[in-house]
Chains A and B, each alone.
Chain A
Amino acid sequence: MSTRDFLHRLPGAANAFQRPAGWLERIHIDFWMLMILFVLISCGLFVLYSASGESLHDVERQGMRFLVALAGMFIIAQIEPRHLQRWTPVFYLAGAVLLLAVLLFGVGAKGAQRWIQIPGIGFRFQPSEIMKLAMPMMVAWFLANRPLPPGWKHLLISAVIIGIPVLMIARQPDLGTSLLVAAAAVFVVLLAGLSWKLIGGFIVLGISALPALWYVMHDYQRQRVLTFLNPEIDPLGSGWNIIQSKTAIGSGGVYGKGWLQGTQSQLEFLPERHTDFIIAVLAEEFGLVGIGLILLAYLAIIGRGLFIALNAQDTYGRLVAGSITLTFFVYVFVNIGMVSGLLPVVGVPLPLVSYGGTSIVTLMAGFGILMSIHTHRSLVRK
């Protein structure tokens, strides 16, 4: 008699197995997560319609992307976490190889090589997107079977696992993505229980390394930092974006100017309004109320994600779920912080709302992993 059969015969077992028997859960979809995603995506499409200059075409394309990404999420959710865990090193290595390939034969624009073009079909993608998931999974894979909190030796190995791909992404150069990928991995280490003393030490070290960072930065990156510190230096050039986005947000007021009524966005004063700066469109047209609601939706996703992490049945699942959720929040925070002038301008789209392909697929794959972790639980801890 297997363990499973044994459990089924325990008193009250029938009730215990009744609870997750919802049809959604049976196809490994988390109802609450799906609901919030739907709400957020629909709101995003509404804002996109306005931000794209009432282009139904853009909205349809974005809708199609979501459908594809949702399908991807659904498929990934079907994979049991233990299979995910087993294939993690392969996934990670493949990503690393692709990153190497980008450095060698990548294509790109504006002086950066970020894409891999698959010849014959017009398909191209950014291997760094793979790393956004592969990286935390790999660190979690490594630490899950080690005693936690991790010791020095394991931390060092983790640092190597993190460092190599991050450096490769930074060389493309894509500082923003490399930092986000690194953050995702660092979250795993932090959640694994890195001691507060060490955390404090790293923070101090990081801050003292900031000046050194200045010297390795590219000119355009330095320019961004300078512009962030004082946008009025060059109001018609590099400062334009941030001045216009702050104007858009501020002029929205509490209730906003109304859908399709935002003059900053509709009259094209706001640059990149349907991609990185889309939150400014929302802020202008729906005001503080709109911002509050969208932040609430994001908070709900993060809450649900952390809830899934807490309820995950093994260390690997916990670490991966926690990291994916927190990384998602970092995207949200960095994007809104940047558009509202709290952070320097880095090319981070607003997750699930900004127009654009690759990031959506990665994000939804992440949610697929979360759902997989949540819906494949059994009553017995492994």
Chain B
Amino acid sequence: MSEKRTLKNLDLEYRLFKERIFVAFAIVILLVMVLVSRMVYLQVYQYDVYSTKSDKNRMHVRAIPPTRGLIFDGKGRVLAENLPSYNLMFVREQAKDIQGVLNTLSEVLELSETQQKEIAEQTYSQRRPFHSALLLSQLTEEQIAKISVNRYRLPGVEIEAQLIRHYPYGPMTAHVLGYVSRISELDLKKVDRSQYAGTYYIGKSGIERQYEETLHGKVGVQTVETNARGRVLSILDETLPEPGKSLKLHLDADLQYAAMRALSGFRGSIVAIEPKTGGILAIASTPSFDPNLFVSGIDGKTYKELITSRDLPMFNRSIRGNYPPASTIKAFMAIAGLEEGIVTQDFTIEDPGWFQLPNDDRYYRNWKRIGHGTVDLRKAIVVSNDTYFYNLAYNLGIDRIYPFMQRFGFGLNTALDIPQASPGLMPSRDWKRTKRKSPWFPGETLSVGIGQGYWQATPLQIATSMAVLANRGKWVQPRLVKSIDSKDVAADNKESPKDIVLSDERYWDIAIEAMVDVVHSGTGTARRIGKRVDYTIAGKTGTAQVKSIKQDEVYDESKLAERHRDHAMFAGFAPAHDPKIALAVIVENAGSGSTTAAPIAQMVFDAYLKKERGLRLTDSAGGGKQ
């Protein structure tokens, strides 16, 4: 080694090395400054950007859906409840192969083709990222087990417990309560979207829709911290949801059952009202449907059957069905005649079986072709004489009939909380001119006089008019809801018609006593039911023409197609001198009011007034002619 050392200049080498070390240290300092500037850039200048990014990473806002309010009948029986249900949820962002997961699901659960289409549709529907879609609801124990076992093949799939609406009375209360169903995009446009985050159902019809806001409650919000895999680790902030308010209805489940059962096998409607409060005790429409089908998601075939059925099971006849009120309004015509001084209690006509207008050879026929002989006001109501009322209507004229009948609620929707109820049609000279573009003909007044012609009314309207009559002119608006969270709802609103005050109080007695005789006298059209009850009923039968009978033609039920047969009607209240229930019964294409509708009305009266009802709410009512 020593011979090489002689070639080395140690001082020079050391100076060189020293220089290099200093240069190296300078570079080190420079590079450290680079790192520091990078960190300053990220942590100071870009702090806001990354801080937001980091929060977005970890924090997710979740909605806590409120519990939907319950619906009770007047006696506190549950009509709509919330039952626990297990839903199949899917977060598509957590699955790498979305279609693969769907295929696995279909295979594991042995889904039908329509179900497969449905879950695919739900999966690909527009949603915020990482928000789960509801694929299937009301999983069975078996399905839950199958999913759990195959969990490892189903990334992003979760089973979520949720409360689901259930209607224990099923079809019996379907029309009045309506139902909830999956929220659609269209529904969301009508409501405050944020309130429905986390809610999958919304009221689609009936009370469920009408009281949606009340029943829904207020959504709660939870800010949660999640890890990189989306698992919730902690709750950072929470506003609890405000549960929906409960509704108590005037409805009496027993009576509703009785009404549905009385109507079973028919297409028709019954509306029963408590005259004192206007509370609707029963509101039945047949045929009906099972609202629970809509909650869980009705399959296409069943739905199509429901909406295309000629019997219109989805149609709420009670509030939407427009029928000619027919003879059920004769008492009101009588009161109008008395009040306007057209007739008196003792005024009589001789009935040849028809009425003719001056200078017109057309015959307006009585339902009994041979006529009723000498007819006074009482007899006209009791035997439902048409000729008397043709004459009365002719003398009153449409311009006096129209406003008077409006005072009983015809042509108006007087209901306090049923905005979707039809106002029916109370024809007037103005209406004819503007809507039909033709003048009013005198003959049309005669048809209106017996509740036919253009006059259309809903069962709810007829029942309401009976309640007003039972109250001797004092108005109570019909209503469904008695109290919200035990707080009574407001009394009548400003749209309530004014109480009817007659110039002579006795006019009420004349009309009501005549209606009592309809049921309880030997000549009354509803005399058959009068013998079977131990209380007094004030009532009026009606037979509404569906197809107009040509001149000189005789109505023959057997000759007419079933759909063209008359509607049978009955309207009245009981007990006559202490009214507790007013009702209207309409049975479509069932012939005369006295043979079909009156016995049905009696069943409802009995159910309400006879304490020993002996009715059990076991078998499902109202399937009817579906």
A253 and B4 alpha carbons, distance in the complex (Å) = 58
A148 in contact with B24 (CB, 8 Å)? no
Q: Of residues B1, B25, B42, B53, which shows the largest number of chain A Cβ atoms within 10 Å of its Cβ?
A: B42
Chain A contacts for B226, CB-based, 8 A: 267
Among A193, A244, A253, A263, the residue within 8 A (CB) of B17 is: A193
**Is B51 positioned at the interface, with any CB of A under 8 Å from its CB?**
yes
A302 and B28 alpha carbons, distance in the complex (Å) = 9
B53 in contact with A340 (CB, 8 Å)? no
A191 in contact with B20 (CB, 8 Å)? yes
A249 in contact with B57 (CB, 8 Å)? no
Among A146, A264, A287, A310, the residue within 8 A (CB) of B21 is: A310
Enumerate chain A interface residues (CB-CB to B < 8 A). 145-149, 187, 190-193, 244, 246-254, 263-264, 267-269, 283, 287-288, 291-292, 295, 298-299, 302-303, 306, 309-310, 315, 318-319, 322, 326, 329, 333, 336-337, 340-342, 381
B228 in contact with A269 (CB, 8 Å)? yes
Interface of B: prevailing SS: helix
**Is B47 positioned at the interface, with any CB of A under 8 Å from its CB?**
yes
Among A147, A263, A292, A329, the residue within 8 A (CB) of B58 is: A263
Chain A contacts for B13, CB-based, 8 A: 148, 193, 315
Q: Interface segment, B33-41, B306-314, B412-420, B445-453?
A: B33-41
Of chain A, the residue at the smallest CB distance from B39 is: A291
A253 and B18 alpha carbons, distance in the complex (Å) = 39
Whole-angstrom distance between the Cβ of A75 and the nearest chain B Cβ: 27
* Contact of A148 with B16 at beta-carbon distance under 8 Å, contacts A191-B21, A288-B39 already known: yes
A253 in contact with B39 (CB, 8 Å)? no
A317 and B44 alpha carbons, distance in the complex (Å) = 42
**Is B130 positioned at the interface, with any CB of A under 8 Å from its CB?**
no
Whole-angstrom distance between the Cβ of A380 and the nearest chain B Cβ: 13
* Contact of A306 with B8 at beta-carbon distance under 8 Å, contacts A267-B233, A288-B44 already known: no
Additional 15 contacts, C-beta under 8 A, given A263-B57, A267-B233, A288-B43: A148-B13, A191-B24, A193-B20, A244-B57, A247-B54, A247-B57, A249-B42, A253-B47, A263-B54, A268-B227, A291-B39, A306-B21, A310-B17, A326-B28, A340-B35
Task: Provide 30 A-B residue pairs closer than 8 Å at the C-beta atoms, listed in order of the A residue.
Answer: A145-B1, A145-B8, A147-B4, A147-B8, A148-B12, A148-B16, A193-B17, A193-B20, A249-B50, A250-B46, A250-B47, A250-B54, A252-B43, A254-B44, A264-B58, A267-B226, A268-B229, A283-B42, A288-B39, A291-B36, A291-B43, A295-B35, A306-B21, A309-B21, A310-B21, A337-B35, A340-B38, A342-B34, A342-B38, A381-B10
A361 and B229 alpha carbons, distance in the complex (Å) = 35
Among A193, A264, A287, A333, the residue within 8 A (CB) of B43 is: A287
B35 in contact with A250 (CB, 8 Å)? no
A329 and B16 alpha carbons, distance in the complex (Å) = 21
A322 in contact with B21 (CB, 8 Å)? yes
Interface string of B412-443 (1 = CB under 8 A from A): 00000000000000000000000000000000
A268 and B7 alpha carbons, distance in the complex (Å) = 61
A325 and B32 alpha carbons, distance in the complex (Å) = 15
* Contact of A250 with B16 at beta-carbon distance under 8 Å, contacts A283-B43, A333-B31, A342-B38 already known: no
Whole-angstrom distance between the Cβ of B60 and the nearest chain A Cβ: 12
**Is B490 positioned at the interface, with any CB of A under 8 Å from its CB?**
no
* Contact of A336 with B24 at beta-carbon distance under 8 Å, contacts A251-B47, A288-B43, A315-B13 already known: no
Of chain B, the residue at the smallest CB distance from A268 is: B228
A259 and B20 alpha carbons, distance in the complex (Å) = 40
A145 and B7 alpha carbons, distance in the complex (Å) = 9
Of chain A, the residue at the smallest CB distance from B56 is: A247
Whole-angstrom distance between the Cβ of A382 and the nearest chain B Cβ: 10
Of chain B, the residue at the smallest CB distance from A315 is: B13
**Is B9 positioned at the interface, with any CB of A under 8 Å from its CB?**
yes
B42 in contact with A250 (CB, 8 Å)? yes
A283 and B43 alpha carbons, distance in the complex (Å) = 8
